[in-house]
């Protein structure tokens, strides 16, 4: 079955005072129908830029797509004008942003904001759109939706505002939902409730979902597939089971080791990845992770590794899985959970 979303060699960047930079470079991803792909990585790795490029909103943030392909249900999005994209956004794909209060207009009631999306995309009468807005608030678990629909964003809690944002995104039953760190600003209990809600709505509506997160626990809970980004490039992809059982790229290993876990009645020792994410103005040659990699070898400093097959369900951009891997004494040991790059 053809994936719902296919991204091929997507490159996008910004013009800055210090010159042009590529925020993402040759990113390739795909999402099957009804599946969830989690895009994970540190802040600044290019996750949000990828989502804005898919939605064709990057132009409004001062960036632009330089090359590559974005195909949604067989249609090439990079060829669409912004007028054409207005019809696609909301109808075929929608986005949930990180901060709900900044995504909602403070001078309109939440009911009016949901109804506006319905009237724009579905051509419904005002009274019908308002009733549909109430129904959507009920669907996302907001109590007393008739009353809440008449309230303004500042009268609602952060968790309720995020549910309103979800209701707006789902108003036209999109095929693809992009959720960019949808629970970051919320407390742990509300986070769990909203993640459960997203999974429930995905099953009911049959949506595909691109979930952006830096939280490996969220990825483990939500994903069918995971893609790991570092410094604007994808360094590993695979099924959630394969990637958590035996991460292949050293950056992925570092992310896994930074997640706290219980050892008996005590928290395990937290490990950190040494160094910092490089500046887009001064990216290292070769593998972008090599200055921080405990398994770096000379080749890593001069040649950027392509994606290589690891096992049957993973790919990693790491020279340890290339033609020199078998003879490299420092190759990753699957028994101790280490990996190189």
The Cα–Cα gap between 82 and 94 comes to 15
Six token digits for residue 180: 């960019």
Asked if 339 and 294 touch (Cβ cutoff 8 Å), the reply is no
How big is the chain, counted in residues? 341
pLDDT tens-digit map of 173-208: 999 999 999 887 678 888 888 899 999 999 999 999
Asked if 325 and 337 touch (Cβ cutoff 8 Å), the reply is no
Strand, helix or coil for residue 85: helix
Beta partners for 225?
37, 239
Between β-strands 176-180 and 208-213, what pairing exists: parallel, antiparallel or unpaired? parallel
Rounded to an integer, the average pLDDT of 235-255 is: 94
Crossing angle of helices 126-139 and 158-170, rounded to 10°:
120
Comparing CA positions, the residue from 274, 286, 277 lying closest to residue 41 is: 277
Between β-strands 314-316 and 262-263, what pairing exists: parallel, antiparallel or unpaired? unpaired
Which single residue is written with the structure tokens 């952006």?
212
List, as own/partner pairs, every contact residues 7-11 make where C-beta atoms lie below 8 angstroms and the sequence separation is at least 24, other chains included.
7/50, 7/54, 7/68, 7/69, 7/70, 7/71, 8/68, 8/69, 8/71, 9/67, 9/68, 9/69, 10/50, 10/53, 10/65, 10/67, 10/68, 10/69, 10/70, 11/65, 11/66, 11/67, 11/68
The Cα–Cα gap between 194 and 173 comes to 18
Rounded to an integer, the average pLDDT of 72-85 is: 94
Comparing CA positions, the residue from 242, 239, 174, 118 lying closest to residue 4 is: 174
| pTM for the structure as a whole | 0.88
Question: What is the location of CATH 3.40.50.300 in the chain?
Answer: 5-223
Asked if 174 and 121 touch (Cβ cutoff 8 Å), the reply is no
CATH class belonging to 5-223? alpha beta
Q: Is a pLDDT exceeding 50 seen at residue 325?
A: no
The Cα–Cα gap between 23 and 12 comes to 6
Band of the pLDDT at 123, cuts 50, 70, 90? confident
Q: Is a pLDDT exceeding 50 seen at residue 232?
A: yes
Band of the pLDDT at 22, cuts 50, 70, 90? very high
Rounded to an integer, the average pLDDT of 252-263 is: 77
pLDDT tens-digit map of 212-224: 998 888 999 999 9
Asked if 79 and 60 touch (Cβ cutoff 8 Å), the reply is no
Q: Residue 43 has what pLDDT?
A: 87
Beta partners for 227?
39, 237
- The dihedral built from the CA positions of residue 302, 303, 304 and 308, taken in this order, carries a sign that is negative
Rounded to an integer, the average pLDDT of 238-249 is: 94
- Percent pLDDT > 90 in the chain is 65
The Cα–Cα gap between 22 and 10 comes to 11
Q: Is a pLDDT exceeding 70 seen at residue 324?
A: no
Q: Residue 267 has what pLDDT?
A: 59
């Amino acid at each position: 079955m053809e994936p719902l979303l296919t991204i091929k060699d997507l490159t996008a960047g910004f013009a800055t005072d210090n010159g042009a930079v590529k925020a993402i470079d040759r990113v390739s991803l795909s999402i099957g129908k009804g599946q969830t792909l989690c895009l994970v990585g540190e802040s600044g790795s290019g996750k949000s830029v990828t989502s804005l490029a898919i939605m064709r909103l990057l132009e409004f943030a001062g960036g632009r797509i330089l090359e590559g392909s974005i195909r949604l249900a067989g249609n090439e999005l990079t060829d669409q004008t912004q007028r054409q994209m207005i019809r696609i956004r909301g109808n075929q794909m929608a986005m949930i942003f990180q901060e709900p209060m900044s995504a909602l207009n403070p001078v309109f009631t939440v009911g009016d904001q949901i109804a506006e999306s319905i009237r724009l995309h579905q051509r419904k009468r005002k009274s019908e759109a308002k009733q549909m807005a109430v129904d959507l608030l009920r669907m996302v678990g907001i109590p007393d939706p008739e009353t809440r629909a008449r309230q303004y964003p500042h009268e609602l809690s952060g968790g309720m505002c995020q549910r309103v944002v979800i209701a707006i995104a789902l108003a036209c039953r999109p095929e693809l939902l992009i959720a960019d760190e949808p629970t970051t600003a919320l407390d742990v209990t509300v986070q769990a409730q909203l993640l459960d809600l997203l999974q429930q709505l995905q099953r009911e509506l049959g949506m595909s979902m691109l979930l952006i997160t830096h939280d490996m626990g969220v990825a483990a809970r939500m994903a069918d597939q995971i893609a790991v980004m570092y410094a604007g490039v994808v360094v590993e992809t695979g099924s959630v089971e394969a990637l958590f059982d035996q991460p292949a790229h050293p950056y992925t290993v570092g992310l896994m080791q930074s997640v706290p876990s219980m050892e008996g009645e005590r928290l395990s020792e937290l490990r950190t990845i040494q160094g910092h994410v490089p500046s887009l103005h001064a990216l290292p040659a070769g593998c972008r992770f090599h200055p921080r990699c405990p398994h770096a070898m000379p080749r890593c400093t001069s040649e950027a590794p392509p994606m290589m097959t690891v096992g049957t369900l993973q790919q990693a951009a790491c020279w340890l899985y290339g033609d020199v891997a078998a003879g490299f004494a420092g190759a990753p040991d699957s028994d101790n959970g280490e990996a190189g790059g």
